[in-house]
């Protein structure tokens, strides 16, 4: 049976990885500055992570949410110490798209409305309402297009206030920092305007921190750079360091009831062990401090390269902007310099999402490779 051909694939077969390094089936070592779309947070095959997952799967990998699972409670308590959201509740699922689906559904249950406000170049997932709230018509099937979604320009406060004042908006969903869209983000003034307008108009504010959360921006959540408090926060990607897990943090204004949300696999024992281990690594190795230090160093080095026209993003969620399409540059980086990087809908942007444990030596190697690749273009 052949695979359904929906992914453009580089001709590389990884077989093992450690930290920020990946090796293929021919023994070639690669530097990973993309982390599989920002998924690798603690670093590939981190010993603490491997131990936690291995020990848990040897005891109990899965049982349903019809029984008590103390690992979910443990994960929730540790999330409080990192996020500061002590009065919020946790619902666990399996992915970022599922987290956003549940957040949108919860918002609609809460206020009885259905119109979604999202923003130009937004990406929130590929399922049902999540893909309808994604600003890419090519991946929205007719069955998804029935959702009522309005896309507004990022940082246009007047357009936002006008839309919400109509009274029929269910929720506003916004990324802490846009990922696929190209590392754009709301200003502090804009985030505060959203928070105020939502509170004044019975609109639920959903912060999509699926890629920008879990320390990647230099704070645990990217919206914490702007001193706001959303109603619902969605998480995934770096949460499990490669193990599928997602979740939403839910304000106490929402009332839970049996059957309101549900999932078969979400919050299973193995997923919770993986996610708890990630938080342990972040704490023990001071990875959020490392994110800020390495971000500053990366930006200093990037500023020395004349072809780099702009540096976007925060922490280790970064983009290098050029005045040309970076498709060939990415190919040269991976095939000639053995470095993984990412792209975005902004075709001249090279996306950088290394493990949070990246060091100066890795960054130096990246820039040597980048300079070589630029010479060969």
Task: Kindly report the CATH number assigned to the domain that includes residue 356.
Answer: 3.90.1150.10
Q: Angle CA(350)–CA(133)–CA(210) in degrees, nearest 5?
A: 55
The answer on 192 and 86 residing in a single domain is yes
Find the domain containing 349 and state its range: 14-45+286-374
Q: Report how many domains make up the chain.
A: 2
Low-confidence ranges of the chain (pLDDT < 70): none
Question: 359 and 269, same structural domain?
Answer: no
Domain contains 222: yes
CATH number assigned to the domain comprising residue 108: 3.40.640.10
Closest Cα partner for 69 from 375, 273, 335, 213?
A: 273
| Same domain membership, residue 208 and residue 331 | no
pLDDT tens per residue, range 55-95? 999 999 999 999 999 999 999 999 999 999 999 999 999 99
**Distant-in-sequence, close-in-space partners of 2: CB < 8 Å, separation ≥ 6:** none
CA gap 366, 109 in Å, rounded:
47
Q: Which of 268, 285, 302 is the last residue of a domain?
A: 285
The reply to whether 7 falls in a domain is no
Distance CA 23, CA 27 (A): 6
pLDDT of residue 300: 98
Residue with structure tokens 């918002």? 107
Task: Tell me the pLDDT tens digit for each residue of 213-242.
Answer: 999 999 999 999 999 999 999 999 999 999
- Both 213 and 342 in a single domain? no
* 266 lies in some domain: yes
108 with 161, same domain?
yes
Q: Which of 250, 269, 285 is the last residue of a domain?
A: 285
272 shares its domain with 189? yes
Whether residue 75 is contained in a domain is answered as yes
Separation between Cα atoms, residue 173 and residue 204, nearest integer Å: 8
Q: Which residues of 304-333 are buried (b: 16+ CB within 10 A; e: fewer)?
A: eeeebeebbbbbbbbbbbbeeebeebbebb
pLDDT of residue 157: 97
DSSP secondary structure string for all residues of 75-129: HHHHHHHHH--TT-EEEEESSHHHHHHHHHHHHHHHHS--EEEEETT----SSHH
Q: How many contiguous H segments (helices) and E segments (strands) does the chain have?
A: 11, 14
Residue 303 sits in the same domain as residue 166: no
72, 214, 337, 326: CA torsion to nearest 10: 120
Assess whether 337 and 263 both reside in one domain. no
* Token pair recorded at residue 346: 């902004």
Length of the chain: 377
Judge if 40 and 92 occupy the same domain: no
Q: Residue 186, Cβ neighbours under 10 Å: how many? A: 24
Q: Indicate the average pLDDT of the chain.
A: 97
**Cα dihedral value 238, 240, 245, 251, nearest 10:** -60
CA distance 43 to 215: 13
- The answer to whether residues 194 and 137 touch, using CB atoms and an 8 Å cutoff, is no
Residue 9 lies in a domain: no
User: Residue 39 has which token pair?
Assistant: 């998924």
Indicate the residue among 265, 285, 305 that finishes a domain: 285
Query: Is residue 26 in some structural domain?
Result: yes
The confidence score (pLDDT) of residue 377 equals 85
Q: Are residues 352 and 212 in the same domain?
A: no
Q: Are residues 247 and 298 in the same domain?
A: no
Answer whether residue 278 is part of any domain.
yes
Does residue 202 fall inside a structural domain? Answer: yes
State whether 219 and 356 are in the same domain.
no
């Amino acid at each position: 049976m052949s695979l359904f051909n929906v992914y453009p694939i580089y001709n590389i077969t990884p077989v093992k990885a450690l930290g920020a390094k990946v090796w293929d089936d021919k023994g070639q070592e690669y530097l990973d500055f993309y982390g599989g779309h920002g998924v690798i947070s603690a670093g590939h095959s981190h010993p603490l992570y491997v131990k936690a997952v291995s020990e848990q799967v040897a005891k109990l990998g899965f049982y349903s949410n019809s029984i008590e699972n103390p690992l979910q409670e443990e994960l929730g308590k540790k999330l409080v110490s990192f996020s500061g959201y002590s009065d919020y509740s946790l619902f666990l699922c399996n992915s970022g798209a599922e987290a956003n689906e549940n957040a949108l559904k919860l918002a609609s249950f809460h206020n009885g409305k259905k119109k979604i406000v999202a923003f130009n170049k937004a990406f929130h997932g590929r399922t049902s309402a999540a893909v309808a709230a994604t600003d890419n018509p090519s991946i929205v099937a007719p069955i998804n297009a029935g959702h009522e979604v309005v896309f507004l320009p990022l940082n246009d406060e007047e357009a936002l206030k006008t839309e919400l004042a109509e009274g029929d908006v269910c929720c506003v969903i916004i990324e802490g920092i846009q990922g696929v869209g190209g590392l754009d983000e709301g200003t502090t003034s804009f985030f505060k305007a959203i928070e105020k307008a939502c509170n004044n108009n019975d609109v639920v504010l959903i912060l999509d921190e699926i890629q920008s959360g879990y320390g990647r921006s230099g704070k645990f959540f990217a919206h914490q750079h702007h001193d706001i408090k959303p109603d619902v926060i969605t998480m995934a990607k770096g949460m499990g360091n490669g193990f599928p897990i997602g979740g939403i943090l839910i304000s106490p204004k929402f009332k839970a009831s049996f059957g309101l949300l549900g999932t078969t696999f979400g919050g299973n024992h193995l997923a919770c062990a993986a996610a708890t281990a990630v938080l342990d690594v972040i704490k023990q190795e001071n990875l959020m401090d490392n994110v800020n230090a390495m971000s500053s160093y990366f930006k200093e080095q990037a500023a020395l390269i004349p072809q780099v026209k702009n540096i976007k993003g925060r922490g280790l969620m970064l983009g290098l902007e050029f005045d040309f399409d970076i498709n060939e540059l990415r190919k040269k980086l991976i095939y000639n310099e053995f470095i993984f990087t990412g792209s975005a809908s902004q075709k001249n942007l090279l996306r950088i999402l290394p493990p949070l444990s990246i060091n100066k030596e890795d960054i130096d190697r990246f820039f040597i490779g980048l300079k070589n690749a630029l010479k060969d273009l």
